[in-house]
Amino acid sequence: MEKEIKIIFEDKNILILDKWSGLVVNRSNTYKETTLQDILEKTYPELYLNVSDQEYLSRSGLVHRLDKDTSGIVAVAKNTDTFHYLLHQFKQRKTLKEYIAVVHGEIEDEIIEIDAPLARNPKAPLRIAVVSGGKPAFTKIEKMYSKNIDGNTYTLVRVFPKTGRTHQIRIHLSSIGHPVAGDKIYCASNLLENDNIVFSRLMLHAEILGFIDPENQKFHRFKSPLPNEFKI
């Protein structure tokens, strides 16, 4: 039985969805499993009829993306005018984005601001890394609390990415010595051994998304329920 996507909010212009961890957002030639784009086009075929805007069609109205293993809130435009209106807000960094993460170790500072440019890793081109001269990337971290689980310390943090680079949150947290629990790319193998016992997924969740509504010009804030795995 195919899993159904949860709807957080819907009106004539906007669809706010709650993506589960493990669901890929965008189609590609190399990925053959069901993606969020596939689900959208199957569930809302009327959105894509008689539409000539190729950018809208190529993204199935998705105005942003989440990594496959990140859960949480995703916004979809139900028409081309809304698509470009929201896309502009994302490009101009006028949206509100808040994430919750469980990271390795005990973070001492209550607030950390990370200003570290990102680019392809020269030594491993398939990965992104902090690279001098890369694209600007800014992330603010707020400590919530730390907890010892099975002899290992983890910290729950709230994350405010001010830019939206690929893997930005994961790389920035790893760069300060606190990788996201369950991160198979940016977390050391010895740390992952315990993660595989304690957690069943990447511990990163897109909890809050806010933007200006194209219909009434008011700022709307949407929230995705925190999965049980994060209630440590």
DSSP 137-192: -EEEEEEEEEEEETTEEEEEEEEEESS--TTHHHHHHHHTT-PBTT-TTTS-HHHH
162 is written with which tokens? 């001010």
What amino acid positions are annotated as catalytic residues? 67
Q: How confident is the model at residue 2 (pLDDT cuts 50, 70, 90)?
A: low
Over its C-alpha atoms, the chain yields an Rg (Å, rounded) of 18
What is the CATH code of the structural domain delimited by 1-92?
3.30.2350.10
134 near 119, Cβ under 8 Å?
A: yes
> pTM for the whole thing?
0.93
Identical fold at 1-92 and 95-225? yes
Topology adopted by domain 95-225: Pseudouridine synthase (3.30.2350)
Locate the domains of the chain by residue range: 1-92, 95-225
Q: What tens digit of pLDDT does each residue of 149-166 get?
A: 988 899 999 999 999 999
